[in-house]
Each structure stands twice: as structure tokens, then as C-alpha cells.
């Protein structure tokens, strides 16, 4: 089911690249940006997260927490994070539950792969309500970064 603006954000706890559990509930009182991406080490996914990396000062300056989420293992994501020097946590949705809860899961992806996160972006406000939702069907497209920033200001 598609996420609607002003609905309560689906809660989750996922494993980070540091092998620690991270819960959305821990960030109540702070804006949160979730970037779902299909697969680490692929071109458009790298571009999506590098855009966030390169503009990280903006998000840090408004005390917003950024997360990247994919169905990759935490070990794969740790190597991806290290190589790309991401300053924000990458979270493993290996069991696909969070991607599904946010309506951001391909039933079938390229080459017959099933259960891969769609490219998507969500902004969650301090009360943990969704104030921006964008789920892309075409994995070659990028989220609207300008719209995301506008919702945060």
C-alpha cells in the first residue's frame, strides 16, 4: 500500500553497517530522510547517495537524520559506505519488511531478481509523520532532491 502524506511513518528497526540496531522511534523530535535504493555499487544508486553525501552539510545544518536503506546485507553496505565515504548510516532491510511497509519493493526487478527495494525517498517530520513520499517505478530515475529540501525548510 502506498504511503500517504501526513500518515504516521511505519516504524522499523534495522541493522546498520556498524552491526547495531537502529530504530526510527529513536529519532522522534528530529526530521528524518529515508533513501531507499535497489543495490549497492550500481550507478544510479551510487549517484543517489553521493548526491546526499555531497550536500550533507545542508541536512546536518538543519539537524536532519539521513538514512540509506536497501535489501543488501550490512556487510555489503559497509563496504559501499566505506568506498563512497558516506557520512550517514546505511541500513540493511535484508528481510524486505521495511521496503514493503513503505511501498518501495519491486516484486520483480531486472534479470528476474525478486524483492529488491525501489528507489524512493521519504521525509518524516519531528512527530514521525510522513511529509514527503516519492516512490519511483523506474530504477534509472533519481528522487527530486529539490522537493525534498523544500519540505525540510
Q: Give 24-47 as a DSSP string.
A: GGGGTTS-EEEEE-S-TTSHHHHH
Is 76:93 a contact under the CB 8 Å cutoff? no
Task: Tell me the pTM.
Answer: 0.94
Catalytic one of 45, 120, 123, 124: 45
d(CA 80, CA 147): 26
Domain boundaries, the chain: 38-152
d(CA 59, CA 52): 9
Backbone angles phi, psi at 101, to 5 degrees: -60, -30
Please give the pLDDT value at position 98.
97
Task: Decide if 45 is catalytic.
Answer: yes
Average pLDDT for consecutive 10-residue bins of the chain (153 residues)? 89 97 97 94 87 92 95 96 96 96 83 81 97 92 94 89
Indicate the CATH number for domain 38-152. Answer: 3.40.30.10
Q: What is the dihedral of CA 110, 114, 116, 122, to 10 degrees?
A: 110
Please give the pLDDT value at position 111.
67
Break the chain down into helix, strand, coil percent, rounded to 5.
30, 25, 40
Q: Which DSSP category does 130 fall into?
A: E
Please give the pLDDT value at position 110.
63
Please give the pLDDT value at position 26.
97
Residue identified by cell 518524516 is: 124
d(CA 78, CA 91): 9
Amino acid at each position: 500500500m502506498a504511503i500517504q502524506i501526513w500518515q504516521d511513518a511505519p516504524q522499523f528497526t534495522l541493522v546498520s553497517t556498524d552491526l547495531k540496531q537502529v530504530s526510527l522511534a529513536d529519532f522522534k523530535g528530529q526530521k528524518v530522510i529515508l533513501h531507499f535504493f535497489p543495490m549497492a555499487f550500481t550507478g544510479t544508486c551510487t549517484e543517489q547517495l553521493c548526491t546526499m553525501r555531497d550536500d550533507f552539510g545542508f541536512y546536518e545544518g538543519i539537524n536532519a537524520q539521513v538514512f540509506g536503506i536497501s535489501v543488501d546485507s550490512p556487510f555489503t553496505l559497509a563496504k559501499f559506505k566505506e568506498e563512497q565515504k558516506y557520512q550517514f548510516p546505511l541500513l540493511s532491510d535484508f528481510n524486505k519488511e521495511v521496503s514493503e511497509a513503505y511501498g518501495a519493493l519491486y516484486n520483480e526487478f531486472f534479470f528476474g531478481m525478486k524483492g529488491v527495494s525501489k528507489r524512493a525517498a521519504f521525509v518524516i517530520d519531528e512527530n514521525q509523520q510522513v511529509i514527503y513520499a516519492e516512490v519511483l517505478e523506474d530504477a534509472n530515475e533519481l528522487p527530486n532532491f529539490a522537493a525534498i529540501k523544500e519540505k525540510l525548510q
